[in-house]
């Protein structure tokens, strides 16, 4: 007996559907795609956080207080990195606790990830001359600085504050007017500390013409403002510009390798010493 054509068609369709399902279906793992990796990451993060908390519990009270400040300010991106550096790699970091020598000036660095990169080299260059601290954050744009400056300043006295904002403002397309208005407010609050202020120009950003020119324009506008407000300038842009092709990361055209940060650290440390001497804060 001849099978109806529609039945044959249905059988063929069912076979093709089954073959297609075998081709596109993920391997049977008992979990949706990515879930196993996510679970493994969460487990590793929890392990690291627990190890970090155990390490913090062994520290003196003043250092524990600092580690809690970091935990509150570093955020979900930088905190796991810092925890990994401390409990897994035992590395020196920009955010390490600084035990002050009361005979030396206290200096605070405020700035973005470029500033983070040159913090340790600067600290090494100033060893035995300055207590060099760093704001407990990647300080981001000027608007973020205004919201978090009190936490970064803490309750101690500062002899000198070396600060920078610019790259994040350019990336976020902050208007020139807003950038300068925010800088003015930041200067007001920083000057109220009684510290000598040093403004660092933003280093080159070479991702495209708009960003490259944005840094140039914002540096020029900020420099003009700093001169009006009596703030010293550390021109990192001009210092590193001849070395950008050699030292800047070709993947992001923003950050630097170790030679670049060592160079910036030498420039910053020298500038800090000169400004401390001029303000009679360095013995």
Confidence of residue 18 (pLDDT cuts 50, 70, 90): very low
* 160 within 8 A of 281, measured Cβ to Cβ: yes
**What sections of the chain are H helices per DSSP?**
5-24, 35-57, 61-73, 75-83, 113-125, 142-153, 167-171, 176-191, 209-229, 236-240, 244-247, 258-278
Q: Identify which has the larger pLDDT, 193 or 33.
A: 193
pLDDT digits (tens, 9 = 90+) for 238-269: 999 999 999 999 999 999 999 999 999 999 99
pLDDT digits (tens, 9 = 90+) for 82-129: 999 999 999 999 999 999 999 999 999 999 999 999 999 999 999 999
DSSP 243: G
List the one residue out of 261, 67, 280 whose CA is nearest residue 160.
Answer: 280
Percentage of the chain modeled with pLDDT above 70 = 87
**Per-residue pLDDT at 9:** 43
pLDDT at residue 35 tops 70: yes
Distance CA 14, CA 136 (A): 62
């Amino acid at each position: 007996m001849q099978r109806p054509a529609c039945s044959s068609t249905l059988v063929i369709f069912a076979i093709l559907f089954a073959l297609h399902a075998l081709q596109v279906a993920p391997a049977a793992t008992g979990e949706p795609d990515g879930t196993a990796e996510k679970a493994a990451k969460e487990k590793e993060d929890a392990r690291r956080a627990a190890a970090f908390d155990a390490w913090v519990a062994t520290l003196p009270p003043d250092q524990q207080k600092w580690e809690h400040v970091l935990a509150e300010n570093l955020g979900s991106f930088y905190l796991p990195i810092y925890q990994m550096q401390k409990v897994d790699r035992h590395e020196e970091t920009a955010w390490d606790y600084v035990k002050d020598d009361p005979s030396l000036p206290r200096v605070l660095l405020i700035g973005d990830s470029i500033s983070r990169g040159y913090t340790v080299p600067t600290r090494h260059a100033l060893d035995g001359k300055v207590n060099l601290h760093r704001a407990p954050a990647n300080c981001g744009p000027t608007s973020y600085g205004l919201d978090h400056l009190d936490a970064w300043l803490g309750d101690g006295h500062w002899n000198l504050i070396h600060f920078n904002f610019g790259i994040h403002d350019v990336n976020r397309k902050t208007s020139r007017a807003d950038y300068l208005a925010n800088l003015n407010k930041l200067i007001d609050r920083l000057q109220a500390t009684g510290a000598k202020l040093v403004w660092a120009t933003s280093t080159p950003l070479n991702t495209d013409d708009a960003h490259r020119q944005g840094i140039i324009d914002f540096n020029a506008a900020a420099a003009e403002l700093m001169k009006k407000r009596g703030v010293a300038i550390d021109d990192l842009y001009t210092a590193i510009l001849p070395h950008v092709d050699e030292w800047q990361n070709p993947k992001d055209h923003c950050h630097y390798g170790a030679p670049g940060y060592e160079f910036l650290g030498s420039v910053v440390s020298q500038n800090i010493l000169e400004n401390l001497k001029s303000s009679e804060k360095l013995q």
